[in-house]
Amino acid sequence: MNNQSLMERRNAAVPRGVASATPLFVKHAKNAELWDVENTRYIDFAAGIAVVNTGHSNPTITQAVTAQIDKFSHTAFQVAGYENYIELAERLNALAPIDDAKTILMTTGAEAIENAVKIARHYTERRGVIAFHGGFHGRTLLTMGMTGKIAPYKEGFGPFPGDIYHIPFPVPYQGIDTAYSLQQLEKLFKTDISPTSVAAIVIEPIQGEGGFYAAPKELVQQLRTLCDEHGIVLIFDEVQTGFGRTGKTFASEHYDVQPDMITVAKALAGGYPLSGIIGKREIMDSPAPGGLGGTYGGSPVGCAAALAVLEELESKSLNARAQDIGSQLHKAFSEIITLNPNVPIRHIRHKGAMFAFDFLADSQPDPSQVAPFVKACRDDGLIVLPCGQFGNAIRLLPPLTVENHILEEAIDIMRKALLSLQ
């Protein structure tokens, strides 16, 4: 068995709509490294797209999952409940920056956002949803509609559900600031939907697929004020930013603002499909029994994994480690640019270990350099992912448990790849 033969079988058996970021097929993985079926070893700075913050095959998580499977793997929480769902909800309610919270568990990120909107609509008895240009919320019809990027996520998949509106997300490098975003929101309230018809504003505190741009504090604080003024539910989509990635358990904690709801998934269960919505009790209790749920939502296996993830976050001080990783990457890339001003990257940015930079040519986004850089890294044994509205950004998502010598090795590979592109 080799990568080539598996790719041929994959292409014959699996639709091309599921993209392949790499031509690799995995044999096994450990912490920040994985080995393909040809036994070639890679450093994995994709981390399953921000999922294995706690590392691949984390022994604490594996042990917790194995113990759970030995007892039972599925009953459907709404048929016969189990303690670890309740315990996880209690833990998330206590950890999230929302006073007096309740949590419902689901399976995927998109499902969490769908349900957050359902709950907000039920509570407010309103229909409108406002999201941001460049935002990504998932691949279901509603979340696709909320996503603020056409290709490849929305092209050919419409029509989308109605009553979804988009406003600009502040990105300093694109000349969009907080004042402009808020102006556009006010304009939207006048031209497209009255604020009294808006159920929710949904924002990623740091856009993930959109390019790792952090929402400015003043924007988030103004949104809070506007939502309070108009009775709108403020939802933070923390599917990509949650659980230590930004140096805090929730990115919301950087903003001194309480959202009404937070959606979580990905790193929550370190590789097992689990998502959740944490929200204010009064809002969360709006839908009647039976209005919310799902066969696999809050799987006991996922809950066991998530409780182990929370243990790992605490016992290994992974929030602090994320900040340390981000600082090391920032220092290394700043040095690369200072010593080699011709390397075609700028706009180094990070919040904790959510790190990105842009490829530019004549100060404009230049996506043409991205594929050669990604390939040069992979040829030297490092997996990295692109992102960004213009496809010209590279995002680094190392597991927060990455060993220092592996981090340094990855930096060396990226330095070499960048110098080869000069």
Ligand X SMILES: Cc1ncc(COP(=O)(O)O)c(C=O)c1O
Cβ at position 35, least distance to ligand X in Å: 25
Residue with Cβ nearer ligand X (216 or 381): 216
**What sign results for the dihedral spanned by CA atoms 102, 104, 105, 109?**
negative
Query: Catalytic pick from 266, 351, 355, 373?
Result: 266
Residue with Cβ nearer ligand X (165 or 189): 165
DSSP assignments along 173-204, one per residue: GGTB-HHHHHHHHHHHHHHT--GGGEEEEEE-
Cβ at position 105, least distance to ligand X in Å: 13
Cβ at position 111, least distance to ligand X in Å: 7
Burial (CB < 10 A; 0-12, 13-18, 19+), residue 13, is exposed
Q: Does the protein bind ligand X through residue 114 (CB under 6 A)?
A: no
Q: Does the protein bind ligand X through residue 239 (CB under 6 A)?
A: yes
Tokens of 325: 């990783």
Q: Does the protein bind ligand X through residue 108 (CB under 6 A)?
A: yes
- Residue 110 CA to residue 103 CA, distance in Å, equals 16
Query: Catalytic pick from 44, 77, 102, 237?
Result: 237
Q: Would residue 30 show up in a list of annotated catalytic residues for this protein?
A: no
What beta strand segments (E) does 2-58 contain? 26-30, 33-36, 41-44
| Binding span for ligand X by CB under 6 A among 23-31, 104-112, 340-348, 362-370 | 104-112
Q: Would residue 266 show up in a list of annotated catalytic residues for this protein?
A: yes
Contact with ligand X (CB under 6 A): which of 209, 312, 358, 409?
Answer: 209
Q: In what order do the strands lie in the sheet with 41-44?
A: 26-30, 33-36, 41-44, 382-383
Q: Would residue 70 show up in a list of annotated catalytic residues for this protein?
A: no
Taking a C-beta distance cutoff of 8 angstroms, is the pair 382, 410 a contact?
yes
Contact with ligand X (CB under 6 A): which of 44, 237, 312, 358?
Answer: 237
How many residues are present in the chain?
A: 422
Cβ at position 140, least distance to ligand X in Å: 7
Q: Tell which positions 134-153 bind ligand X, by CB under 6 A.
A: 136-138
Q: Does the protein bind ligand X through residue 240 (CB under 6 A)?
A: yes
Taking a C-beta distance cutoff of 8 angstroms, is the pair 317, 217 a contact?
no
Name the CA dihedral angle for 218, 222, 225, 226, rounded to a multiple of 10 degrees: -170
Q: Which residue is nearest to ligand X (CB)?
A: 109
77 contact partners, CB below 8 Å, separation of at least 6: 85, 105, 293, 297, 298
Q: Does the protein bind ligand X through residue 109 (CB under 6 A)?
A: yes
Contact with ligand X (CB under 6 A): which of 32, 43, 110, 383?
Answer: 110
Q: Looking up tokens 């504090």, which residue turns up?
A: 217
Q: Does the protein bind ligand X through residue 212 (CB under 6 A)?
A: no
Q: Does the protein bind ligand X through residue 345 (CB under 6 A)?
A: no
Cβ at position 374, least distance to ligand X in Å: 18
Q: Does the protein bind ligand X through residue 251 (CB under 6 A)?
A: no
Tokens of 228: 């309070």
Query: Catalytic pick from 136, 236, 250, 373?
Result: 136
Q: Which amino acid is at 341?
A: P
Q: Does the protein bind ligand X through residue 298 (CB under 6 A)?
A: no
Taking a C-beta distance cutoff of 8 angstroms, is the pair 172, 348 a contact?
no
Cβ count near 92 (within 10 Å): 24
Tokens of 199: 């159920």
Residue with Cβ nearer ligand X (92 or 113): 113
Tokens of 309: 């993830």
Q: Tell me the per-residue interface mask from 43 to 62 with ligand X, x by CB under 6 A, - otherwise.
A: ------x-------------
Residue with Cβ nearer ligand X (240 or 249): 240
| Binding span for ligand X by CB under 6 A among 18-26, 107-115, 150-158, 343-351 | 107-115
Radius of gyration of the chain (CA): 21
Contact with ligand X (CB under 6 A): which of 36, 44, 204, 409?
Answer: 204
By annotation, the residues acting in catalysis are: 136, 237, 266
Binding site for ligand X (CB under 6 A): 49, 108-110, 113, 136-138, 204, 208-209, 237, 239-240, 265
